[in-house]
Amino acid sequence: MADNDKIIEIEVLRYRPEQDKEPFFQSYQVPFTDDMSVLEGLQYIKDQLDGTLSFRWSCRMAICGSCGAMINGIPKLGCKTFLREYYPRKLRVEPLAHFPIERDLVVGVEDFIGKLERIKPYIVPKEPRTLAQGEYLQTPAQLERFLQFSSCINCMLCYAACPQYGLDSNFIGPGVLALLHRYNADSRDGARAQRMELVNAEEGVWSCTAVGYCSEVCPKGVDPANAVNQNKTASAMDYFLRFVQPRGASR
Amino acid sequence: MSARRPYVRSMDGWWRRNPFFIVYMIREGTAVALQSPWSLAFHLVLLVSFIYHTWSWFSIMPKTMPMILIGGRKLQPGVITGAGLAVSAVVCAALFLLVMKLAS
């Protein structure tokens, strides 16, 4: 690195379970150029300053969802956030909120993964279908109803943003409910009735109080708040019409 | 034997840590007024007095306004009162619809 590089102070929340009683902040002086992301700053720390720093990352292009962290208290992707935005002030990096800390910036994701698996995140055909019938056909309007919700990269920033999830982790949460809605809203799918059981539960949409911060922090424009709150109407309709008509077909 | 010892952070003061949440709490706080029966009763009393105030205002307006002549004839008191009340009703309805639209 050249001598006239700017130096930014990055303060990271450290936690080594085998030696630390509780988390503590450690500061590093990181030389940077204007094109460096926070992720690259962490990589500099690990490569040049402190090899013990632990953090998740993979694609470095905002598609894998691995590098989420609290950057100055706001859930962001490290690869999509730039050091130049914070200079000359210092940068504080902490693990994603509302998740237990395993080590340094690595959080426990079992709860989130378990919830993803519970919602049947795949197309369940409405009736058996043969190869000879060919592919499903969809109009642009049918695509529009679910397309944005399919953009989710499972980065969990919305869970770090959601205070209801932070207060009670039984809540299924914004990202998983958005994915659930992606399948319910898909004209090819026929499993709406089974998914509605999860939606209607207390830990489904009814734990949401429309804070809206989840949609604010989503790096892919999924708008999970909309997915969740659309399903409050769907859930209420299901309840009041449960004796009137069979529910099961998606629209 | 696993060396894992996950650390769970406290949620104390969560809404004070971010301006977005402070605004959210203010929004939720406005619902508290609706919870109290006294507050609701107070607002109903205000609504009744506002309606009576409007009625009495337009009732006395023909006396407080200078005479208006249209086509040589005096503008009738009933017309003045009626027009005033009609405009008030329309404006109130429009405002109500606007608020309902914004709140949806």
Please identify among residues 10-49 of chain A the ones whose CB lies closer than 8 Å to any CB of chain B. 15, 17-18, 22-23
Residues in chain B: 104
A18, A23, A211 ranked by CB distance to B24: nearest: A211
pLDDT in tens, B11-70: 999 999 999 999 999 999 888 767 788 888 988 999 999 999 999 999 988 888 888 888
Residue-level pLDDT at A41? 98
What type of residue sits at position A76?
A: K
Between CA B20 and CA A162 the distance in angstroms is 11
Check CB contact under 8 Å for B9 and A212. no
Q: Please give the sequence-ordered ranges of beta strands (E in DSSP) within B12-97, or none if there are none.
A: 69-70, 73-74
With beta carbons under 8 A apart, name residues in chain A contacting B20: 211, 213, 216
Query: What's the rounded Cα separation, in Å, for the pair A193 and A211?
Result: 27
pLDDT score recorded for residue A103: 97
pTM of the model: 0.80
Q: Round to whole Å and give the CA distance between A118 and A191.
A: 13
Report the percentage of chain B scoring pLDDT > 90: 56
Q: How far is CA A66 from the centre of its chain?
A: 10
Q: Please report the ipTM that was assigned to this predicted complex.
A: 0.89
Which of A71, A96, A103 would best serve as a mutation to test chain B binding (most B beta carbons within 10 A)?
A103
At A120 the pLDDT is 93
Residue A36 neighbours by CB under 8 Å, 6+ apart = A44, A82, A83, A84
Task: Write out chain B residues lying below 8 Å of A23, CB-based.
Answer: 7, 9
Interface contact A108, partner B, CB < 8 A: yes
pLDDT at B72 over 60: yes
Contact B20/A73, CB-based, under 8 Å? Answer: no
Residue A246 confidence (pLDDT): 62
Res. B95 pLDDT band, cuts 50 70 90:
very high
In the predicted model, residues of chain A with pLDDT beneath 70 are 1-4, 245-251
Please compute the mean of the pLDDT values over residues B72-101 and round it to a whole number: 92
pLDDT in tens, A25-57: 999 999 999 999 999 999 999 999 999 999 999
* Position A119, amino acid: I
Amino acid, single-letter form, for residue A205: V
Tell me what pLDDT residue A119 has.
94
Residue A28 phi, psi dihedral angles, 5° rounding? -130, 145
Q: Are the beta carbons of A157 and A231 closer than 8 angstroms?
A: no
